[in-house]
A and B are shown apart, each in its own frame.
Chain A
Amino acid sequence: MTSLPSRPGTAAGAPQARRPTRRRSRRRESLTALGMVSPAVFLLLLFFVIPVVLAFALAFTNARLVSPTPAEFTGLQNFRTLLDDPLFYKSLRNTFYFAAVVVPLQGGLALVLALLVNAKVKGVNFFRTVYFIPVVTSMVVVSILWTLMYQKTGLVNELISQLTFGVVHGPDWLNNPSTAMPAIIFMSVWQGVGFHMVIWLAGLQTIPQDLYEAADIDGATRWVRFRYVTWPGLRTTRTFVLITITIAAFSLFAQVSVMTQGGPLDSTTTVVYQAVQTGYAQQQTGYASAISLVFFVLVLAVSLVQRFLTREKD
């Protein structure tokens, strides 16, 4: 925070007579500032702080979305139910499966795209624009579009068949427990990778040119340039990309809700999907809060571990 500009009367050696005016204007400044932050602070309290605190409180009650009787404290009951619920373990497993594949795949492909369009070639702006188009398309629309394309006789299988000269016939992607999740993963990466391409690009452009020039004078190969100039220069970008993709991957919901409703055979149900099902469809707010709480702890733990692993080691 830089210091405020010195206003009349704040300069050293100002006449004593001005003191009271100055104090009054300082107080007025404080009051005005409080007035200016209060709408935002009020709304954040109402729609962020209170619900987060509620997530903790309601998790220990039997609260229902609409209920004639007030919620009762039930201790650890929700968590006990949760730990006995086989669906919860499936949700947890699917969520980790999705994150474990999407995070490296999307992060890596995004970097490849960024390197490809970070060149001084004609038409590079066009390519950036096209790669980015799925990002501005709603996940709901994308999910519906791919549901059509993933049908047994849909566009995806038709393309696979054409590209392999009729040798390979794709499965009914979304109705097969072993292919439903990979299909959702593939589509999610297609939709989101452009976003992280732009983040990598912003990182690439902060690397000083003279480092590359110095590497060239030393006769560095392309790989050496990448390994010793580009990669270290992307350190902060890397942490950001890692953490944002991870949080987004753990929050997987819309794709599942639109394309498979958790099926077939619970092969695509996720923690957030299960929380929404119990909290909204079955109206069990208390139980859903317990799931949300576990989810929150999970996300927090994973981001902390990632931060620890990517910390500055020197």
Chain B
Amino acid sequence: MTSASPAPARPGPRTPLLRMLALQAARIALALFFAFPIVFMLVSSLKPDQQIFGDLDSIKAFLPVGHVSLDNYTGVFDRVPAARFLFNSIGISAVTVVLGIFVNSLAAFALSRMRWRGKKIVLSAVIATLIVPFETFALPLVWWVNQLPWLEVNGFHLTLTEGWLDTYQVQVLPFVANAFSIFLFHQYFQSIPKELDEAAVIDGANWFGIYRRIVMPLSGPAIATVAILTFLPAWNSYLWPLMVVQSEDLRPVMVGIQYFFQLNPSWGEIMAYSSMITVPVLALFVAFQRAFVSSIASSGVKG
């Protein structure tokens, strides 16, 4: 995963063969421990309910054998508007990520590279917000967004509506500005030499030009980190949409799971739906392992 940074070679006490084997056995056992539920989910998504429970007493629980079909997947689309939920979640996550990268990097740019009064206060205020968990103000936030106005476009008319409950924006805008993203961008921007700005100014660039043509193109790793750390909670969000979204058309994937428990739940279909909303993230994870892990590791610096 982090093969770029060589694993620390410890020339320490020579490890005896037996010990090495024991350690490797422990690693393998732990791998099975972390992987078995996921494998069970994927395999069960292909089986009818009766067989899921029938296969439990043997290794078959983890193997795609027996009556294997995609019936559960077609069943999912019959039972819930799964395509709509996926569409909503993809849209909500994508817009949150794109706006988040833009808004937070812009703020971090001003905080790290420009000279202005009050910037130290703003920076420490932003960092201070990191210790407050979302759960502590989620409920007052529900009440608050229900009071907010919004401009709606109906054909050629603009109408002022009140209350953000049951909208797309209520699932996106509260999560765009993020103190931790600002902090990460700020740290990264500090490492880009400021002489580059100087050169650009001589070439006639303004501040926004420096941001767009010099700093951002050099900040790939920071952008990737922020993208991942914004995407995961957006895709996985559950508590918030549960409280603020009522209409089916606007629901994201995680809330959609509730539909399967209404009448005679089919575990096969539930596993199929769970696989459908998990596999895309797992695929992204496997493709971008290094960025994923280094972004999590970088969150360790905030302590």
**Residues on A facing B (Cβ under 8 Å):** 1-2, 4-8, 26, 29-30, 32-34, 36-37, 39-44, 47-48, 50-52, 54-55, 58, 63, 65-66, 113, 116-121, 123-142, 144-146, 148-149, 153-155, 158, 162, 190, 194-195, 198-199, 201-205, 209, 212-213, 215-216, 221-222, 225, 236-237, 239-240, 243-244, 247, 250-251, 253-254, 257-258, 272, 275-276, 279-280, 285, 288-289, 292-293, 295-296, 299-300, 303
Contact = CB atoms under 8 A, between A and B. Distances in A.
13 contacts: A30-B117, A51-B137, A129-B1, A130-B31, A133-B282, A135-B296, A136-B282, A138-B278, A142-B37, A194-B34, A201-B297, A222-B13, A296-B132
Interface string B185-221: 0000010001101100110001110010000000000
Contacts of A124: 7, 27
Given A33-B116, A240-B303, A296-B132, A130 B142 contact: no
Interface residues of B, number: 109
Given A135-B296, A279-B142, A292-B140, 9 more contacts: A37-B107, A44-B177, A66-B146, A116-B30, A120-B9, A144-B270, A212-B11, A216-B12, A295-B135
B257 interface: yes
B137 A48 contact: yes
Contacts of B35: 130, 133
Interface of B: 1-3, 5, 7-13, 20, 23-24, 26-27, 30-31, 33-35, 37-38, 40-41, 44, 53, 56-57, 61, 103-104, 106-107, 109-111, 113-117, 119-120, 122, 126, 129, 131-144, 146, 173-177, 179, 182, 190, 194-195, 197-198, 201-202, 206-208, 211, 232, 235-236, 238-239, 242-243, 254, 257, 267, 270-271, 274, 277-278, 281-282, 285-286, 289, 292-293, 296-300, 302-303
Contacts of B197: 5
Interface of A is mostly: helix
A18 B49 CA distance: 81
A180 B53 CA distance: 22
A52 B297 CA distance: 29
Nearest to B123: A1
A280 B208 contact: no
The 5 closest A-B pairs by CB, nearest first: A240-B303, A43-B177, A40-B107, A202-B297, A279-B139
A297 to B, nearest CB: 9
B270 A276 contact: no
B274 A141 contact: yes
Nearest to B177: A43
